[in-house]
């Protein structure tokens, strides 16, 4: 029994990391309606910035995270301006391929700057792990901080979208960008703002990802990025609480699958569950069902 | 901004114009460039035969981009140190050496492309490839061309299945067997847990050999859990299973990149078995910013210890540190030695750069039977007919943040 | 495109298709001539078969993405099925059928059929979904296939075949047994049967199948579903049937490419690099850059984009960076309003020059 609870805790710990990445994914998808494959690589850049400032220059972690948030926000807006904005009215696929190009670009820039060697990331969380049941059950400080950060961001984002003017503009753009424009919403600046917020979230996600799993390479972001994307779809892409639930569930399924079924097939299990969920509920757990009209 | 954008567009334009041109003109264009290439290489060949300034051309292949880039870069750097030393000391048989290293992204197909690129460049001897899967593909080509090949770090058995191919490192079965023997003979532990990378040839190869020999040694494998390349950040389950099974020793036949995460996970779960790894562990102390206390008492098989007192090792390590600002790992060391083995074989064969690739290979394989080499990864190494090196693996333990020979 | 226009342009379509076939044949003849003359570098010579593999993959994916209008991110999974089925077949019968051409033909058929079967199995559930959800599920299937292939151990001895998903030891082989698929280590020593001629023949067959499908009644039904599913359904077109047909034909052809790929290299492993979603995306890039729905464009894009990273080798460390920049720039140039305006201007410029010359 204690074994099961322990796996569950590990699953939540992994899931919280997926969830925090998925929040950024789902936010950008919901508003801009594009799969930003480069999101995972913005996360990697965010982590590298913290690594350089905290471990390299010896700045306090809080300052490092702030710098990283600023760098990623600017980077996100730049990417949007240069690569995505010219393609606003192009086919979805063209945008997808561009996003993949941006992803390759960021990976290779990081490779040129930092080299291929693995960097060990010093956790920014100083909280001691909680040990229960004579050390059989360990909840790490990183897990607690990540889950709390997820919940705060989730509530904050929901409130922002619901109550602030630019938040409601985002909602309007996501519902119908043409109509929103007619009502005087500046679609371009709204989408730019979405990317800014999404990338700022990516910076925080990068820090928490690498605090939990302290190895940093130019390719650190790509697989968690894909998994988080799956998590976002799982929960219903575009839905903010859905990303949180999807992330946590994905983490728990992955860990339990690995523990009780097969450690070699854990990815296959995760994807199989995703397929089953989507077949039963084609827009994810909390996704909105849109009726198709002629 | 507009200017930058238009510049970008011009770049794109030239490309897509090239792409828009019909395929026949496209293939003609590539053909004409290749024709040029081959004629230039012919002319350089002709030139090298006549002039006394001829050089030996050694090629290298390994991943410089992609997730395995760290190993390829180390090999490239280590080999470059050896090449520079050899050239400074007057070259091989009085001829200077040229070295060209190509990226293969750890992909078999790209590796064959890299090999063909090097052939166009005029490569005479191949030092590579760095990783096993590409190596198995490339060795088919070197065998067909009868080109001398030595892999610094391709561990799979099939990497050197032909008579023209040699190996500098230990093979997978060799490492797995040696590890199990060492654990059994020294009575380190009775119950063993294994974590291995099931998507990696190196890791699963060692695991299988280890499991076989462990049975002979009377060791009990109480838990064997895998991970995959897509899943190499979270080790909580694997570690917990090892812990719950009560294993006294955790065997980790994979690279230090993942090992640093496994060690951190064990630490956070409060699990303290004996840690035992293979040569892939070498380099863990060089991970930037790594908390070396996590790796305290870690044991691993290694051909090479950077902190060794040995004179050759010291001069290699200091040259490497001066050139690249980091401590070399076993990949760099194996590459360094590989280049010197090529030198020994070329000298043994009394070879000259004007010999054809195939003649060079025959002369060098004949010479390899006589070569006894002492370098940074072992002393008095000889090679059998099968191309495997005869060298004893060292067992190294990390004590007070330094790797020490046991 | 409405049916009426189609009829009027029929001769134009036929001409365009003939150009596509002709292009492949001419390319083959030119390359053959240069090969005979010994004027082709080893790099290009080594790239000939991979080029054919990627052309087949791009054309087959275009059937799903361009003609059927479904975004598939799992194409590499079907290639993986074909590759492993074909290679296993060849490995098993290496000593039984010594006649290379026959063995390879059978291997291609086996690989193609296996991939088609998987295409149908995957297609039935997947095609109920739409848009990005469909994309993510195909990605999931691709990853599952890769993951499962990585844990299969298949051995053969005098008692027959043995299969395990644990390790070679649990196969329990007799002394005379040999391991055919060795889990993550895959299949080694597949006979090297792929040649450039085979590649070209398979490209021509692929083109023939895809182009005929597009220009048939079935093809028009598939495109009508793409353009307006509800309208198509309302005039009695069976959506599931036609979608599934396009999807499984596409999967089968990917399997063919897989067999060709497997018999070109001595080692076959299912790594993220060659059969993961990265490969699916690479193929998708060919299709999108070549023009969605444009078969000839796919052929050209596959050739150019496969050659590009290899020809950029001289740039060493900046190679992949420049590849990424070119990818982004090309997308912006071909798909953004600004880029299209420039394209128009270039077209005008050339047309004017033509009229001047005339």
Mean pLDDT score, B40-65: 65
The reply to whether C278 touches chain B by the CB within 8 Å rule is no
pLDDT at C8: 54
Candidates C277, C329, C336, C342: best to mutate against A (most CBs of A within 10 A) is C336
Side-chain half-sphere of C114: how many Cα atoms within 13 Å?
25
DSSP A112: H
Its domain, for residue B365, covers 51-170+313-392
Query: pLDDT digits over C97-154, tens only?
Result: 778 889 999 999 999 999 999 999 999 988 888 777 888 889 899 999 998 888 888 8
Is B14's pLDDT higher than 60?
Answer: no
Chains touching B (3+ CB pairs < 8 Å): A, C
> Of B267, B302, B337, which residue sits at a domain end?
B302
| Residues ≥6 apart with Cβ < 8 Å to C351 | none
pLDDT greater than 70 at residue A197? yes
Number of structural domains (chain B) is 2
Report the percent of chain A where pLDDT is more than 70: 98
- CB B288 to CB A108 under 8 A? no
Check whether the bond before B129 is cis (ω within 30° of 0). Answer: yes
Model confidence band, residue B29 (pLDDT cutoffs 50, 70, 90): very low
Distances (CA, A) of B254 to A290, B279, C294: 48, 8, 46
Residue A251: its pLDDT value, please?
92
> CB contact, 8 Å: C129 with chain A?
yes
- Interchain proximity A294–C151, CB inside 8 Å: no
Report, as an integer, the average pLDDT of B45-51: 40
Q: Which residues of A touch B280 (CB under 8 A)?
A: none
Does residue B246 lie in a domain region? yes
DSSP state of A286: S
Give domain status of residue B108, yes or no: yes
Q: Chain B contacts of C151, Cβ < 8 Å?
A: 198
Domain regions of chain A by residue span: 2-280
B135 neighbors B128 (Cβ within 8 angstroms): yes
Question: CA of B398: how far to CAs of B66, B263, B292, B297, in Å?
Answer: 29, 13, 9, 5
- pLDDT of B230 reads 79
The per-residue pLDDT for A293 is 52
Q: Are C142 and C115 in contact (CB under 8 A)?
A: no
A164 touches chain B (CB under 8 A): no
What angle do helix axes C319-335 and A92-114 make, rounded to 10 degrees?
A: 160
Q: Does residue B23 surpass a pLDDT of 80? A: no
In this predicted structure, the answer to whether residue B48 has a pLDDT above a threshold of 60 is no
Q: Is the pLDDT of residue B53 over 70?
A: no
In a domain, B17, yes or no: no
Distance CA C119, CA C127 (A): 11
Domain A2-280 in CATH 3.30.980? no
Chain A contact probe: residue of C67, C69, C134, C143 with most A CBs at under 10 A: C143
Q: What is the pLDDT of residues A126-173, one digit of tens each?
A: 888 888 777 677 888 888 899 899 999 999 998 998 899 988 998 888
Q: Which of 317-346 (C) contact A at CB < 8 A?
A: 317-318, 320-321, 323-325, 327-328, 331-332, 334-339
The candidate with the shortest Cα–Cα distance to A238, out of A166, A184, A161, is A161
Residue with tokens 């409405």: C2
Q: A204 vs A61, A176, A190, B113, B181, CA distance in Å?
A: 12, 30, 21, 40, 47
pLDDT at res. C10: 57
**Same domain, yes or no, for B106 and B137?**
yes
Quote the pLDDT of residue C176: 75
Res B384: pLDDT: 87
Q: Do A105 and C339 touch (CB under 8 A)?
A: no
CA distances from A82 to A141, B2, B9, B254 (A): 39, 10, 12, 41
CA distance B71 to chain A (A): 9
Distance between CA atoms of residues A83 and A99, nearest Å: 8
**pLDDT tens digits along A63-119:** 999 999 999 999 999 999 999 988 888 888 888 889 989 999 999 999 999 888 888
Assess whether B321 and B364 both reside in one domain: yes
Q: With beta carbons under 8 A apart, name residues in chain A contacting B230.
A: 223, 267
ipTM of the complex: 0.86
Residue B21 — very low, low, confident or very high, per pLDDT cuts 50/70/90? very low
Facing B116 at nearest CB: one of C42, C183, C276? C42
- C234: Cβ contacts below 8 Å, ≥ 6 apart: none
**pLDDT given at position B52:** 52
Mean pLDDT for all residues in chain B: 83
Selected for mutation to probe chain A from B62, B236, B280 (highest A CB count within 10 Å) is B236
Q: Which residues of C touch B19 (CB under 8 A)?
A: 289, 300-301, 304, 330
Q: Chain B contact for A133, CB < 8 A? A: no
Q: What is the pLDDT of residues B120-135, one digit of tens each?
A: 999 999 998 898 889 9
Tokens standing for residue A14: 């992994």
In angstroms, the CA B119 to CA C69 distance is: 43
Q: Which two tokens stand for residue B318?
A: 């200091």
Q: Which residues contact A266 (CB under 8 A, 6 or more apart)?
A: A254, A257, A258, B228, B231
Q: Does the pLDDT of residue B62 top 90, yes or no?
A: yes
Say whether pLDDT at B7 is over 70: no
Query: Rounded CA gap, A231 and A221, in Å?
Result: 15
The values of phi and psi at residue B226, to 5°, are: -110, 160
Cα separation, B184 vs B181, in Å, equals 5
Q: Cα angle at A177 between A176 and A180, to 5 degrees? A: 90
A224-228, B179-183, B259-263, C161-165: segment of lowest average pLDDT: C161-165
> Per-residue pLDDT tens for B308-359?
888 899 999 999 999 998 888 889 999 999 999 999 999 999 888 889 999 9
The burial of A251, by beta-carbon neighbours within 10 Å (0-12 exposed, 13-18 middle, 19 or more buried), is given as buried
Which residue of C35, C46, C140 to mutate against B (max B Cβ within 10 Å)? C46
Task: Tell me how far the alpha carbon of residue A157 is from its chain's centroid.
Answer: 14
Average pLDDT, integer, range B247-271:
89
Question: Are both B87 and B189 inside the same structural domain?
Answer: no
Please answer yes or no on whether B225 and A223 come within 8 Å at the CB atom: no
Residue B373 lies in a domain: yes
- pLDDT band (50, 70, 90) for residue B202: confident
Q: Measured on CA atoms in the order C266, C271, C277, C279, is the torsion positive or negative? A: negative
Are B158 and C189 within 8 A, CB to CB? Answer: yes
Residue B112 touches chain C, beta carbons under 8 Å: yes
Q: Residue B171 corresponds to which tokens in the numbers above?
A: 């093979």
Nearest residue to A264 via CA among C259, B229, C301: B229
Token readout for C55 is: 């052309």
Task: List the domain boundaries for chain C.
Answer: 50-150+190-357
User: What region, left, alpha or beta, does residue C236 occupy, with left being phi > 0 and alpha being psi -120 to 50 degrees?
Assistant: left
* Segment holding B382, helix H or strand E: strand B378-383
Extract the residue ranges of chain C whose pLDDT is less than 70.
Answer: 1-10, 356-358
| B143 lies in some domain | yes
CATH number at residue B280: 3.40.50.2300
Q: CA quadruple A142, A144, A146, A149: dihedral positive or negative?
A: negative
Strand partners, B389: B383
Residue A248 binned pLDDT confidence (cut-offs 50, 70, 90): very high
The answer to whether B38 contacts chain C (CB < 8 Å) is: yes
Residue A56 has pLDDT above 80, yes or no: yes
Lowest mean pLDDT among A109-113, B172-176, B361-365, C333-337: C333-337
∠ at Cα A220 (A216, A226), nearest 5°?
Answer: 160
Residues of chain B numbered 166-195 and touching chain C (CB < 8 Å) = none
| Mean per-residue pLDDT, A238-260 | 90
Confidence of residue B172 (pLDDT cuts 50, 70, 90): confident
d(C-alpha A244, C-alpha A237), whole Å? 11
Q: What is the pLDDT of residue B15?
A: 40
- Whether residue B288 sits in one domain with residue B203: yes
- Asked if residue B25 belongs to a domain, the reply is no
Position B10 scores a pLDDT of 37
Residue B29, in any domain of the structure: no
């Amino acid at each position: 029994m204690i074994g099961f609870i322990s796996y569950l805790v590990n699953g939540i710990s992994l899931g919280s990391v997926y969830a925090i990445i998925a929040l950024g994914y789902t936010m950008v998808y919901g508003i801009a309606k594009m799969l930003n494959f480069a999101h995972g690589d913005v996360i990697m850049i965010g982590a590298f910035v913290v690594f350089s400032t905290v471990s390299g220059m010896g700045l306090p972690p809080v300052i490092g995270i702030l710098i990283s948030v600023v760098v990623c926000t600017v980077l996100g807006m730049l990417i949007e301006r240069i690569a995505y904005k010219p393609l606003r009215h192009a086919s979805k696929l063209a945008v997808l391929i561009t996003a993949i190009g941006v992803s390759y670009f960021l990976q290779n820039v990081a490779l040129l700057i930092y080299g291929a060697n693995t960097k060990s990331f010093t956790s920014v969380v100083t909280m001691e792990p909680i040990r229960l049941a004579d050390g059989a059950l360990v909840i790490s400080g990183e897990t607690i901080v990540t889950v709390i950060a997820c919940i705060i961001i989730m509530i904050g984002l929901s409130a922002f979208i619901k109550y602030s003017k630019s938040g409601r503009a985002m909602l309007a753009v996501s519902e119908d960008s043409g109509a929103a424009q007619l009502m005087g919403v500046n679609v371009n600046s709204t989408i730019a703002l979405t990317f800014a917020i999404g990338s700022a979230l990516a910076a925080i996600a990068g820090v928490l990802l690498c605090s939990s799993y302290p190895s940093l390479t130019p390719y650190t972001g790509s697989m968690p990025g894909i998994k988080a994307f799956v998590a976002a779809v799982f929960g219903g892409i575009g839905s903010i609480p859905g990303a949180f639930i999807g992330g946590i569930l994905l983490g728990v399924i992955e860990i339990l699958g690995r523990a009780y079924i097969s450690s070699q097939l854990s990815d296959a299990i995760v994807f199989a569950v995703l397929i089953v969920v989507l077949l039963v509920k084609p827009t994810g757990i909390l996704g909105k069902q849109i009726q198709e009209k002629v | 901004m507009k200017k930058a954008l238009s510049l970008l567009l011009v770049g794109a334009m030239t490309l897509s114009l090239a792409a828009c041109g019909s395929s026949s003109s496209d293939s003609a264009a590539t053909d004409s460039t290749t024709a040029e290439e081959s004629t230039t290489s012919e002319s350089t060949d002709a030139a090298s035969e006549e002039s006394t300034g001829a050089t030996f051309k050694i090629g290298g292949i390994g991943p410089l981009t992609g997730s395995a880039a760290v190993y390829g870069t180390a090999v490239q750097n280590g080999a470059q140190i050896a090449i520079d030393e050899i050239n400074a000391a007057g070259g091989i048989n009085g001829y200077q050496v040229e070295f060209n290293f190509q990226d293969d992204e750890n992909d078999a197909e790209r590796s064959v492309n890299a090999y063909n690129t090097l052939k166009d460049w005029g490569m005479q001897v191949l030092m590579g490839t760095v990783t096993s899967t590409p190596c198995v593909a490339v060795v088919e080509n070197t065998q067909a061309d009868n080109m001398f090949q030595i892999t610094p770090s391709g561990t799979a058995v099939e990497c050197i299945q032909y008579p023209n191919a040699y190996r500098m490192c230990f093979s997978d079965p060799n490492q797995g067997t040696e590890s199990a023997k060492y654990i059994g003979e020294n009575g380190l532990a009775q119950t063993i847990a294994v974590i291995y990378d099931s998507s990696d040839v190196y890791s699963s190869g060692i695991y299988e050999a280890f499991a076989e020999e462990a049975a002979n040694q009377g060791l009990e494998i109480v838990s064997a859990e895998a991970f995959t390349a897509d899943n190499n950040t979270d080790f909580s389950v694997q570690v917990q299973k090892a812990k719950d099974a009560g294993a006294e020793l955790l065997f980790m036949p994979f690279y230090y990149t993942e090992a640093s995460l496994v060690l951190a996970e064990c630490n956070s779960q409060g699990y303290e078995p004996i840690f035992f790894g293979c040569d892939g562990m070498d380099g863990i102390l060089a991970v930037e910013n790594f908390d070396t206390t996590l790796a305290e008492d870690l044991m691993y098989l290694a051909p090479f210890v950077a902190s060794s007192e040995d004179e050759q090792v010291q001069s290699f390590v200091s040259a490497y540190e001066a050139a690249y600002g980091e401590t070399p790992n076993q990949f760099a060391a194996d590459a360094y030695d590989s280049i010197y083995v090529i030198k020994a074989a070329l000298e043994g064969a009394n070879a000259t750069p004007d010999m054809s690739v195939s003649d060079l290979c025959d002369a060098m394989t004949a010479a390899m039977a006589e070569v006894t080499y002492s370098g940074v990864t072992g002393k008095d190494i000889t090679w059998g007919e099968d191309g495997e090196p005869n060298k004893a693996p060292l067992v190294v333990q990390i004590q007070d943040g330094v790797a020490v020979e046991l | 495109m409405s049916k009426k226009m189609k009829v009027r342009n029929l001769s134009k379509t036929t001409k365009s298709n003939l150009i596509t076939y002709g292009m492949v044949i001419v390319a083959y003849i030119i390359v053959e001539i240069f090969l005979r003359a010994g004027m082709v570098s080893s790099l290009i010579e080594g790239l000939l078969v991979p080029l054919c593999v990627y052309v087949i993959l791009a054309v087959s994916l275009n059937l799903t993405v361009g003609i059927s209008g479904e975004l598939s991110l799992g194409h590499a999974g079907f290639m993986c099925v074909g590759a492993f089925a074909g290679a296993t077949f060849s490995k098993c019968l290496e000593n039984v059928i010594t006649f290379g051409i026959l063995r390879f033909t059978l291997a291609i058929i086996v690989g193609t059929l296996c991939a088609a079967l998987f295409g149908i199995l995957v297609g039935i559930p997947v095609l109920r979904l739409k848009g990005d959800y469909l994309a993510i599920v195909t990605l999931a299937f691709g990853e599952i296939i890769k993951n499962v292939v990585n844990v299969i151990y298949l051995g053969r001895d005098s008692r027959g075949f043995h299969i395990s998903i644990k390790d070679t030891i649990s196969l329990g082989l007799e002394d005379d047994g040999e391991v055919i698929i060795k889990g993550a280590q895959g299949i080694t020593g597949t006979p090297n049967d792929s040649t450039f001629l085979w590649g070209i023949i398979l490209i021509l067959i692929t083109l023939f199948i895809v182009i005929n499908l597009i220009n048939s009644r079935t093809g028009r039904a598939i495109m009508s579903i793409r353009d307006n599913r509800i309208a198509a359904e309302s005039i009695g077109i069976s959506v599931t049937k036609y979608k599934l047909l396009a999807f499984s034909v596409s999967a089968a052809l990917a399997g063919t490419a897989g067999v060709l790929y497997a018999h070109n290299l001595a080692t076959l492993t299912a790594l993220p690099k060659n059969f993961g979603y990265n490969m699916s995306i690479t193929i998708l890039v060919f299709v999108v850059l070549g023009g969605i729905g444009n078969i000839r464009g796919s052929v050209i894009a596959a050739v150019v984009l496969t050659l590009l990273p290899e020809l950029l080798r001289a740039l060493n460390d900046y190679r992949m960076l420049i590849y990424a920049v070119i990818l982004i720039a090309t997308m912006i140039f071909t798909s953004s309003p600004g880029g299209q305006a420039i394209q128009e201007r270039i077209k005008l410029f050339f047309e004017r020059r033509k009229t001047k010359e005339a």
